[in-house]
Chains A and B, each alone.
Chain A
Amino acid sequence: MNPLATIGQISFAFLATIGRLSIFTGRAVLHCFLPPYYLRLLARQCIEIGYYSLPVVGLTAIFTGMVLALQSYTGFARFNAEGAIANVVVLSITRELAPVLTGLVVAGRIGAAMAAEIGTMSVTEQIDALVTLSTNPFKYLVAPRIIAGILMLPLLVLVADIIGVLGGYLVSIHKLGFNPSVYLHRTWEFLQPLDVMSGLTKAAVFGFIISLMGCYHGYSSRGGAQGVGQATTNAVVSASVLILGANYVITELFFAV
């Protein structure tokens, strides 16, 4: 096979995917603003994304905060800077770890579920049935998921911020022997509103990415069970990569020197 032809085919396929995704994104965003609004579906998606993700997000956050305190201690103890642990824990959690880890965990849980559900609807003609019943699938299926993703991820990250800091506090107090009031004072002393706001902004963007990728790959899936399985994998992988990329861009925008 001609390698140039292969490169050309891959490039065209890539550009076609970008084009399809751009059109899908444009339609999805447009239908978030246009009536009718399916509030019952929006509420259901908010519960699915926000409420049911709480246990896994909480567990991820508390263990991350605990490990962070332990690792920081072992590093900082070498040059007598143990006092900075509270600062490191709160900044790392609010700025980076809570939004990114919550995004990745929710991408695995919700992105996959969205792609599987919409993918199954696509291959069993349920999306076609929606159209024949005068219901726009973008309004009915995509818009509530996108809006719920944007609204719920910041709330989850806020919870993860609190639980993550609590994890660091528990290890610092009960294992490393810090004074509780000094630890809490240092945590509050160093925390700026911008640290939390940047994390919440990231979360809203990650929520959009997760819902968009779940809906796009589900909607585009073809070919039965295998196609739905592929869509699920693609939704999780693409959402995870885009989350990490977007994380860098947003960090650059907020904290570039």
Chain B
Amino acid sequence: MTDATVKIGIRDLHKSFGPKIVLDGLDLEIRQGESMVIIGGSGTGKSVLLKNVLGLLTPERGSISVDGQEVVGMGWSEREHILRKFGMLFQNAALFDSLSVWENVAFGLIEGRGMNRTAAKEIAMEKLANVGLGPEVGALEPSELSGGMRKRVGLARAIAAEPEIIFFDEPTTGLDPIMGDVINDLIVECVKDLGATTLSITHDMASARKIADRVAMLYKGKIIWVGPVSEIDHSGNEYVDQFINGRAEGPIQMEVRAL
């Protein structure tokens, strides 16, 4: 693999919160056009990794490059330019309460790119249709939506500006299995249409199997296994085996404090 095919390169990334080390020299490369899924237990730093790439958190050490451009330590004006390549679906959708659904979807187009409201509304309605929501939903407030609808609106917002890179933070968490599968299908479909590079984090293995080209496992601040999704059942890594089979016994020990 040459550097030209690497969309996001992460090298020796360190991030701590006080004495708690979250990322401990993490290395990962995400190739152009692939769907990478990071799996790992709760609290292992999956969301922290995404936030470091987006510049929402600053790592203590290490390098993050997007299209070969170093983004750690970048100022806002440069970062604003880089962020235009990104779309993100947040775990709880993170819709803006003060705006209607269509304004949420069109937000990046209006505020981020200066598009006029009429044109942005047209695109927002089109994206809502892409995720299976009718035009009547556009006028609703986020508080009027169900969990599944919120995720769909979040997805529509993430793809509205047709980004090159899309991040999905636990896209199926909190949804029933059927709605979770609907969201997975939408993700696959939208990503295929856009030809985007995606990085998803999840601990839902059904979701990972459906949307991933490659899977990486994060444990104790490091990537301990990376491989094609087809090889995950034969990874030869006992940590991965324990995680994907959901066993309490194994090398991964949950920290449970006695009462």
Where the two chains meet, the residues of A that have a C-beta atom closer than 8 Å to any C-beta of B are 38, 117, 120-121, 124-126, 128-129, 131-136, 140
Contact = CB atoms under 8 A, between A and B. Distances in A.
Interface stretch (B107-115, B177-185, B190-198, B211-219): B107-115
A132 B88 contact: yes
A134 B96 contact: no
Contacts of B55: 131
Given A120-B97, A133-B107, A128 B51 contact: yes
A136 B80 contact: yes
Interface in B85-142: 86-88, 90-92, 94-98, 107-108, 111-113
28 contacts: A38-B111, A117-B98, A120-B97, A121-B96, A121-B97, A124-B94, A126-B95, A128-B56, A129-B90, A131-B55, A131-B56, A131-B83, A132-B54, A132-B56, A132-B88, A133-B83, A133-B107, A133-B108, A133-B111, A133-B112, A134-B80, A134-B83, A134-B84, A134-B108, A134-B113, A135-B107, A135-B112, A136-B76
Contacts, number: 56
B80 A128 contact: no
A131 B83 CA distance: 8
A135 B87 CA distance: 13
Contacts of A140: 111
Given A134-B112, A135-B112, 4 more contacts: A128-B56, A132-B167, A133-B157, A134-B80
The 9 closest A-B pairs by CB, nearest first: A134-B112, A133-B108, A129-B94, A125-B94, A132-B88, A134-B83, A135-B111, A125-B90, A133-B112
A133 B88 CA distance: 8
Nearest to B51: A128
A115 to B, nearest CB: 15
A120 B97 CA distance: 10
Nearest to A128: B56
Interface in B27-46: none
A66 to B, nearest CB: 39
A128 B113 contact: no
Nearest to B82: A134
A202 to B, nearest CB: 31
B127 to A, nearest CB: 14
Given A126-B96, A136-B76, A131 B54 contact: yes
A124 B84 CA distance: 22
A132 B166 CA distance: 10
B12 to A, nearest CB: 24
Contacts of B97: 120-121, 126
